Each structure stands twice: as structure tokens, then as C-alpha cells.
Amino acid sequence: NAGVTQTPKFRVLKTGQSMTLLCAQDMNHEYMYWYRQDPGMGLRLIHYSVGEGTTAKGEVPDGYNVSRLKKQNFLLGLESAAPSQTSVYFCASTLADTDTQYFGPGTRLTVL
């Protein structure tokens, strides 16, 4: 039981490049979330999903897109990376009707 995994762990992009971050969970959780964490700030919600095929915007969605084609996977896309997107990205998941979220190990992204 791997829990929540994220791919890749590290990435360096140039401004304007695109990439996709993959989050996978094997706990059969309905809800999945993408956060970014920047120094001095709490985790901020980018997008989330309450089930397969559904997504919704969070607090800071601009510049990101997401997809949840399978219940166990939640993808975060950056179409045209900007230096302001340099951050640590965490994926989390939870069962419906609970508040406890389980986090992946994070992806450290640097945009030059």
C-alpha cells in the first residue's frame, strides 16, 4: 500500500515550457487535491476533484489545469510555465465524509 505518490520529485523548467505532474493514490479515496507551498505561506489549494471526471478550482488556479480520468490519478498541468510557479507542489487525497487528508511526498519545481 503505497498511499499517495507523486511524479516527478524534482523538475527544472524554462519559462514557457509545459509539464504534467502526476499524483496517484491506492486508497480508493474519492477526493483529491493539488496544493502549492511557498515560503512563509500556508498550503494554497490550486484545484481539487470530488470524484472521477470532475474537477473544481481552488484558491490559486490560474496557470494550471487538471484532469481526473481515473479515480486513482489526478494530473496537474502547467501549459506555459512562469517563474512565479516555482514552488513545492503537494497532492493529497481523502475519503468522502472525512477531513483527514493524506499527502504525497511533493514535487519541487523550479522555473527559470
Partner 1 sequence: RKEVEQDPGPFNVPEGATVAFNCTYSNSASQSFFWYRQDCRKEPKLLMSVYSSGNEDGRFTAQLNRASQYISLLIRDSKLSDSATYLCVVPMSNDYKLSFGAGTTVTVRA
Distance between CA atoms of residues 15 and 84, nearest Å: 10
Distance between CA atoms of residues 100 and 89, nearest Å: 18
User: Which member of 31, 60, 63, 71 binds partner 1 (CB under 8 A)?
Assistant: 31
User: Which member of 8, 98, 110, 112 binds partner 1 (CB under 8 A)?
Assistant: 98
How many residues bind partner 1 (CB under 8 A)? The answer is 25
Q: How far is the CB of 95 from partner 1 (least distance, A)?
A: 9
When asked if residue 22 is in the footprint of partner 1 (CB under 8 A), the reply is: no
Stretch that binds partner 1, among 17-25, 64-72, 79-87, 90-98 (CB under 8 A): 90-98
3-state helix vs strand vs coil in the chain, percent to 5: 5, 50, 45
Residue indicated by cell numbers 477526493: 31
